[in-house]
Chain A
Amino acid sequence: MMSPAAVLKRAAPVLACIGLLAIWQAAALLLKNDSFPTAIEAIRAIPDILGDKEALINILASLRRMAMGFGIAVLFSIPLGLLMGRSRAVAAFFNPLLMVIYPVPKAALMPIIMLWLGVGDITKTLVIFLGVSLPVIYHSFEGAKAVEEKMLWSGAAMGLSSLQRLVRIVLPAALPEILTGCRTGLVLALITMITSEMIARQSGAGNILFNALDMGQYDTVFAMIIIVGAMGICLDAIFERIRARLVRWSEPQFDMPLSFS
């Protein structure tokens, strides 16, 4: 039997969602604007979208691109960030490059990338890749830099080569920081995914949203926003569960969870 406090803690995210929907509902009823459907109307439109085979294919295609972009970015960025964190030469080489790329909105690069690579999967995946890479590189870099020298010395005394130290000491020691970067990266993947589909409107969840907007189907627009938002919340919650499991050894015992998991 859970204590009332524990029940409240568990129910808090649900209550927050209900509260938000209630405010939306009240605001829509008050404003009575055609382009602002009520929460109930938007929710009613969700089954129509999810029941539509073509819409479903579009959403799945979006998720596939997002997974690809995110996956490649993580596989590329973690080793690069760790190397930068442990080698002054590597850091000195990549730092200026990354400093230039960092503040540029990745979506702003899309027109050029579209020109070169077309409006298909490659372009969108590349934009997602660019969006995810930087926070993951940054956090891997910071994590690797903070690894205690003496820990590496201890490993060296045991006979670990420098590559082994990177993989078996720097990587696990920096993992909490790396996963913080990945979590930011995951949300950025979702954002760049939708943005890329709004610009290169060929398929995907972003395309459904904007097509509905063009046709004045406002309940579908809002339903898509709910769907995309729910996707983000679910992905983040799943990721947070995995993260918490992997770095249980580093977490303070009592911590305020900042997620829906």
Chain B
Amino acid sequence: MKVVPSRSSEWVRPVTSQKPASAIIEIDRVSQVFQTSARKDHLALSNISLTVDEGAFVSILGPSGCGKSTLLYIVGGFVSPTSGVAKIKGQAITGPGPDRGPVFQEFALFPWKTVLGNVMYGPRQQGVRASEAEAQSRSLIEMVGLKGYENFYPKELSGGMKQRVALARTLAYHPEVLLMDEPFGALDAHTRTRLQNDLLNIWERDRKTVLFVTHSVDEAVFLSDKVVMMSKSPGRIRQVIDIDLPRPRRRNELLLDPRYQKYVVDIERMFDESDEVGASS
């Protein structure tokens, strides 16, 4: 397992030369420039290199505006990087594809479809027979805890339920990588905790590769194998931290575990230091 941080722009090393056999996502010297006004460019991402191993749960953690979501969108193929290349299984990413399933903070459900219709949408698009897609979707809906809500429309559901549907909808077409963009950011603390627990339970069953964007340190440490810390203006990778905590993880055990507490405190301290450096410079 090798996640390569990039801390300086002079640092040029072909990621491929050191590529471990199991890398599924490779991000190689990716930069993203947004034009904010006619004359001003904003460097959202600066020279990011990162590899993600198959089956790993990797969080990208950073303050808002550090470009962490943009990085996720580049992997999703929704945004093209200004320079550099992102690869999935060795192939350069040129657009979205069913091998990478996004889950957005805004849920982005199809409001004209019922819960079942939303979950079935992907498999149907992939050519799965209606009866088969329905059976699979019903069991997924049950897995995310929404049995009995199959015929509800999104407007009839709470935020937490909508995000459960969105997760089931993405899982339904069997992406190899889950791209989660602050998925629990719009939820209240209680719902958020419950969804984190449920996501972990689901993930620990089949161990799909997950790239998870968040600004919550607790969330990142609780869920991840690896935390990629980013700093902003321009967005860079600050540090990559392996989270060496046993699985399956249970929240009530973990919160009392000094190793968990140390990770959280250390990461928070590192962010505080960078804030002070930013303020004095």
Contact = CB atoms under 8 A, between A and B. Distances in A.
A164 to B, nearest CB: 8
A250 B78 contact: no
Contacts of A154: 102, 104, 108, 110, 169-170
A157 B175 contact: yes
A172 B113 CA distance: 10
A182 to B, nearest CB: 17
A166 interface: no
Interface in A149-186: 150-151, 153-154, 156-160, 169, 172-173, 175
Given A169-B110, A249-B155, A157 B126 contact: no
Contacts of A175: 112
A250 B155 CA distance: 7
The B contact surface, by secondary structure, is: loop
Contacts, number: 62
Contacts of A169: 110
B106 interface: yes
A48 interface: no
Contacts of B122: 158
A172 B112 contact: yes
Contacts of A150: 102, 104, 106, 108
B214 to A, nearest CB: 17
B73 to A, nearest CB: 8
A148 interface: yes
Interface string A83-112: 000000000000000000000000000000
B110 A173 contact: yes
B102 A153 contact: yes
A189 B250 CA distance: 65
Interface in B86-120: 95-98, 100-102, 104, 106, 108-113
Contacts of B102: 150, 153-154, 157
A152 to B, nearest CB: 9
A173 B154 CA distance: 13
Given A148-B108, A169-B110, A159 B98 contact: yes
Nearest to B73: A153
Given A249-B153, A249-B155, A157 B96 contact: yes
Given A172-B112, A249-B112, A153 B155 contact: no
Interface in A104-162: 148, 150-151, 153-154, 156-160
Nearest to A175: B112
B173 interface: yes
Contact of A173 (B97, B104, B112, B173): B112
A252 B173 CA distance: 31
B131 interface: no
Given A151-B110, A250-B111, A159 B97 contact: yes
Interface string B147-163: 00000011100000000
A150 B69 CA distance: 12
A157 B98 contact: yes
Contacts of B76: 153, 157
26 contacts: A150-B102, A150-B104, A150-B108, A151-B108, A151-B109, A151-B110, A153-B78, A153-B96, A153-B102, A153-B108, A154-B108, A154-B110, A154-B169, A156-B77, A156-B95, A157-B101, A157-B102, A158-B125, A158-B173, A159-B126, A169-B110, A173-B111, A175-B112, A247-B112, A250-B111, A250-B112
Q: Which 6 A-B pairs have the closest CB atoms?
A: A150-B108, A156-B96, A158-B122, A150-B104, A172-B112, A151-B108
Interface of A: 148, 150-151, 153-154, 156-160, 169, 172-173, 175, 247, 249-250
Given A157-B175, A175-B112, 8 more contacts: A148-B106, A150-B106, A153-B104, A154-B102, A154-B170, A249-B111, A249-B112, A249-B155
